[in-house]
Chain A
Amino acid sequence: MTKRDLICVSCPIGCAITVELDDNNEVISVTGNTCPRGDKYARQECTHPERMLTSTVKVEGAKLPVVPVKSASPIPKEMLFDCMEEINKVSLTAPVRIGDKVIENILGTGVDIVATNNAL
């Protein structure tokens, strides 16, 4: 059995969480979280760590040259840089509105990249 100490990054409170894992890396117990999101995060982190990705993409014809984007949900941590490469290939034309899909199902993750501000 092994123990892993984690900091929950699901919200800014940052609870200190302890996870007990058995020899097959299966989660036995999660303690220290103050809400269910922490439990979910800890299990995910010990099996397939994921992160939200935020960046900007180029936009033509708007007041500013870029518009911010985010992944609609967390994506596998090891794919962050590959996704950045995809995001940096995109160029949009104004108007772009909050919530507009910028890339659908980025690199087969099932996660869309969406605009997080208006570019008019």
Chain B
Amino acid sequence: MIKDTGKSKQTGEVWVFIQRYEKELEEASLEVLGKARQLAEKLQVAVAGIIVGEHSEGLAQHIIEYGAHRVYVLNSVYLRGYTSSAYTKALCSLIEDKKPSIMLMAATPQGRDLAPRIASKLRVGLTADCTDLRIGSYTDPKTGKKHNNILLQIRPAWGGNVIATIVNPQTRPQMATIREGMMKLPARNRAARGEVVHIQSDIERADIITTILQQQHVARTVNLKQAPIIVAGGAGLGTKENFQLVRELARLFGAEVGATRAAVDAGFSGHEHQIGQTGITVRPKLYIACGISGAVQHLAGMEESGRIVAINTDPEAPIFSIAHYGIVGDVREVIPKLIRNYRILSH
């Protein structure tokens, strides 16, 4: 276990593991970098991005332009593709060597596969799927000991029904994964310069115990995360044909189409449109929920929206409790009215 002994050998840096996809950087990791920079400024330490794999030189500069003071490039032919065991081993050696104070990752499937393995190996605390991070203090209620300048990790749990603030007072690094779409993508500063540190990793072939046989990628035809307006439909649309109303309204508003899992399962819409805990998290300016009950798993993906309009026949539907505007009515009548009136108003 790496304990915070206060020895000066530690870099004390704030680290962000930067996920890459071949020669592209995962945007969710860059979002985390923006937050890391704020935390590091508070702590007066450097921010470092960690990138793994070959041909990382161009990517390293990119990471610096998004806010890192330093980039550690972990090289090895055995780190070419992501595997849990090899990446865990490589990152743990780096952490043990440089001793950062904080280690963050995006809570993507890869981040949630990797971070717990690292935390388990190092025996440090890990907070999952955070929606916010701050620097603050924590007083242990048992010993009365006060820990200053530690990471406050804010996360929803219980299916989004509670918000917990979690701390790792004793172990270092303080680890957390960050939910996608919760931090603002920092502005890119092309003039930024920083240090690139190349490290040859001692990973061996034997450390790779999984092979990726095939990858099928669903092309990103939908851009829900960036959409300022989303019109989403649920099981309340009733049929695939009726779901067309949602698309029509979206087209008129210049919006993207979202769906609940029930709507996806019923075949009304593709999986890439699913919003919620097991889909995409969105934060548009305007979210129009049509025939959606408002299950916690759906709310988890959209409740941060600027304005929420809900249309539902059931006045007791939980979606109304988070909506700003509620229309108790049948989507088959209300959506055509929205279309008609919007056309009139915009002429």
B is bound to A: no
Which residues of B are at the interface with A, using a C-beta cutoff of 8 A? none
Which residues of A are at the interface with B, using a C-beta cutoff of 8 A? none
